[in-house]
């Protein structure tokens, strides 16, 4: 009975604490007699009591570290504050455990020095407009340097770039002047386009007015020509009618006299008698007979 109790105590004190279940996305680094022995992945594992020891528990999930702003100097001697965000993941628990002491502090210092080196080659304007280039260079350098620590740097982002206050004010004035310049250019282009459109409208109006007057004159001339043509056709018809009627000389003289009478009825003070009327007496006699 005592032996059974002792056995139960041994099971609870020695065996059960040495049985470990490693969860997903974690890894256990196991040492045997003070030296690295193996790495436990997820699952059930048992270590030898008093000989094996779990050195560290490593989280394999991707982590995000936001580092404090670092003072950097550009190639044109402008001091600014830049803070970065590093996305990293532990890929080798053994190297992460034994590669470097305090890996996060090592990454932070490496990020600061790398950032200073990259920004030191750029001017202020390039720094403000080249975030993608800075991010790519930093990621490549950090990823290569942290391979020996069992760390994979997946992404590096420049979070904020804070120039000195006087530089910010100068940049704001420059941007304000640039916006005003663009506004003035747009207003001038609008006025120019408006003037061009007005000129085009006036030109089209003059052209249409001239074409209207031209068309009107053409139609008036065509009407007058048609009227004159009708008159001439009527005169020709009358002459033809007289010829067809075989009018004698007395009829023709009578027509001449009628024309003379119509002329005399007007307001003219002088009457010119055609030379073709040779015998006015005979004409009057003929007219008298006709009037009867």
Rounded to whole angstroms, the Cα distance separating 15 from 10 reads: 7
75-106 tens-digit pLDDT:
888 888 888 999 999 999 999 998 888 888 89
The phi and psi torsions of 212 (rounded to 5 degrees) equal -65, -45
Q: What is the DSSP letter of 92?
A: -
Secondary structure of residue 143 in the 3-state scheme: helix
Rounded to whole angstroms, the Cα distance separating 130 from 60 reads: 32
191-240 tens-digit pLDDT:
888 888 888 888 888 888 888 888 888 888 888 888 888 887 777 776 67
Helix (H) or strand (E) holding 45: strand 43-46
Q: Which domains does the chain have, with CATH numbers?
A: 2-59 (no CATH), 63-163 (3.30.479.30), 248-292 (no CATH)
If we measure between CA atoms, which residue out of 151, 153, 158 comes closest to residue 140?
A: 153
If we measure between CA atoms, which residue out of 19, 60, 53, 57 comes closest to residue 36?
A: 53
Distances (CA, A) of 18 to 10, 29, 50, 230: 12, 14, 9, 133
pLDDT of residue 243: 65
281 confidence band (pLDDT: 50, 70, 90)? very low
Q: At what angle do helices 249-264 and 280-291 cross, to 10 degrees?
A: 90
Secondary structure of residue 70 in the 3-state scheme: strand
43-71 tens-digit pLDDT:
898 888 888 899 889 999 999 988 888 88
Distance of CA 267 to the CA centre of its chain: 84
Tokens of 219: 């139609």
The beta-strand segments (E) located in 94-170 are 151-162
If we measure between CA atoms, which residue out of 49, 62, 72 comes closest to residue 123?
A: 72
């Amino acid at each position: 009975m005592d032996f059974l109790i002792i056995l139960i105590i041994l099971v609870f004190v020695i065996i059960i604490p040495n049985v470990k279940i490693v969860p997903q996305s974690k890894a256990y680094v196991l040492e045997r007699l003070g030296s690295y022995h193996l790495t436990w992945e997820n699952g059930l594992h048992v270590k030898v009591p008093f000989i094996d020891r779990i050195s560290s528990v490593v989280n394999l999930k991707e982590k995000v570290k936001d580092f404090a702003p670092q003072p950097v100097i550009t190639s044109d001697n402008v001091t600014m504050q830049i803070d970065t965000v590093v996305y990293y993941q532990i890929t080798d628990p053994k190297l992460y455990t034994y590669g470097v002491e305090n890996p996060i502090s090592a990454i932070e210092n490496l990020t600061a020095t790398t950032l200073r080196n990259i920004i030191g080659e750029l001017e202020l304007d390039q720094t403000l407009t080249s975030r993608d280039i800075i991010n790519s260079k930093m990621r490549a350098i950090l990823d290569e340097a942290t391979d020996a620590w069992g760390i994979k740097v997946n992404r590096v982002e420049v979070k904020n770039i804070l120039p000195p206050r006087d530089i910010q004010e100068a940049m704001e004035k420059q941007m304000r002047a640039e916006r005003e310049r663009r506004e003035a250019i747009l207003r001038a282009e609008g006025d120019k386009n408006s003037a061009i459109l007005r000129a085009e409208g006036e030109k089209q109006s003059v052209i249409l007015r001239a074409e209207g007057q031209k068309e009107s004159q053409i139609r008036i001339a065509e009407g007058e020509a048609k009227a004159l043509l009708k008159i001439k056709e009527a005169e020709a018809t009358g002459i033809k009618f007289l010829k067809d009627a075989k009018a004698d000389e007395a009829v023709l003289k009578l027509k001449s006299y009628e024309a003379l009478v119509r002329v005399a009825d007007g307001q003219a003070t002088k009457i010119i008698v055609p030379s073709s009327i040779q015998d006015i007496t005979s004409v009057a006699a003929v007219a008298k007979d006709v009037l009867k």
